[in-house]
Amino acid sequence: MNTYKTLRLMKKSQRDRRHLLRGTVAAAGAALLGGCDRLSRNESFVEVLKSAEHLNAAVHKIVAPRPAMAQEFERKDIVQTFRSNGTLMPRDADYRALGMGGFADYRLAVRGLVGKPAEYSLAQLRALPSRTQITRHDCVEGWSCIGQWKGVQLGLLLEQAQPLPDARFVVFRCFDSMDEPATGTDSRYYESIDFDDAYHPQTILAYELNDQALPISNGAPLRCRVERQLGYKHAKYVRAIELVASLADIRGGKGGYWEDEGYEWYAGI
Partner 1 sequence: MAIEQSAPPAQRIYRHRLPVRLMHWVNVISITILLMSGLNIFNAHPALYWGHDSHFASPWLSINARDTPAGPVGVTQFAGREWQTTGVLGLSAVDGQTSARGFPSWTTVPGPQWLSMARHWHFFFAWVFVINGVAYLLYSLFSRHLARDLLPTGSELRGIVTSIKNHLLFRHPTGGAAKRYNVLQNLAYLTVIFVLLPLVAVAGLAMSPRLDAVYTGWVDLLGGRQSARSLHFIAAAGLLLFTLIHLFEVIVAGVWNEIRSMVTGWYTVPADKPAKGL
Residue closer to partner 1 (CB basis): 64 or 89:
64
Residue 178 is a binding residue for partner 1 (CB under 8 A): no
- Alpha carbon of residue 171 to chain centroid: 13
Residue 262 is a binding residue for partner 1 (CB under 8 A): yes
DSSP per-residue string spanning 145-168: EEEEEEEEEHHHHHHHH-B-TT--
Strand partners of residue 136: 146
Residue 23 is a binding residue for partner 1 (CB under 8 A): no
Binding string, residues 227-246; x marks residues near partner 1 by CB under 8 A? xxxx----------------
Residue closer to partner 1 (CB basis): 175 or 258:
258
> Least Å distance between CB 33 and partner 1?
6
Residue 100 is a binding residue for partner 1 (CB under 8 A): no
Q: CA–CA distance from 8 to each of 4, 20, 116, 267 (Å)?
A: 6, 18, 91, 62
Question: How far is the first Cα of the chain from the last one, in angstroms, to the nearest whole number?
Answer: 66
Residue 44 is a binding residue for partner 1 (CB under 8 A): no
Residue 40 is a binding residue for partner 1 (CB under 8 A): yes
Residue closer to partner 1 (CB basis): 125 or 202:
202
Residue 261 is a binding residue for partner 1 (CB under 8 A): yes
Residue 93 is a binding residue for partner 1 (CB under 8 A): no
Element (H, E) at 11: helix 3-40
126-155 binders of partner 1 (CB under 8 A): 136, 138-146
Residue 58 is a binding residue for partner 1 (CB under 8 A): no
Residue 26 is a binding residue for partner 1 (CB under 8 A): no
How many residues appear in the chain?
269
Contacts of 186 (CB under 8 A, 6+ apart): 177, 251
Element (H, E) at 34: helix 3-40
Separation between Cα atoms, residue 252 and residue 254, nearest integer Å: 6
Residue closer to partner 1 (CB basis): 38 or 96:
38
191-230 binders of partner 1 (CB under 8 A): 227-230
User: Using CB atoms within 10 A of its CB, is residue 30 exposed (0-12), middle (13-18) or buried (19+)?
Assistant: exposed
* Rg of the Cα atoms in the chain: 26
Residue closer to partner 1 (CB basis): 137 or 239:
137
Residue closer to partner 1 (CB basis): 78 or 128:
78
Residue closer to partner 1 (CB basis): 24 or 124:
24
Separation between Cα atoms, residue 81 and residue 212, nearest integer Å: 12
Residue 264 is a binding residue for partner 1 (CB under 8 A): yes
Strand partners of residue 145: 137
Binding site for partner 1 (CB under 8 A): 3-4, 17, 21, 32-33, 36-37, 40, 46, 48-53, 55-56, 60, 63-64, 68-71, 73, 77, 79-80, 83, 136, 138-146, 227-230, 258, 261-264, 268-269
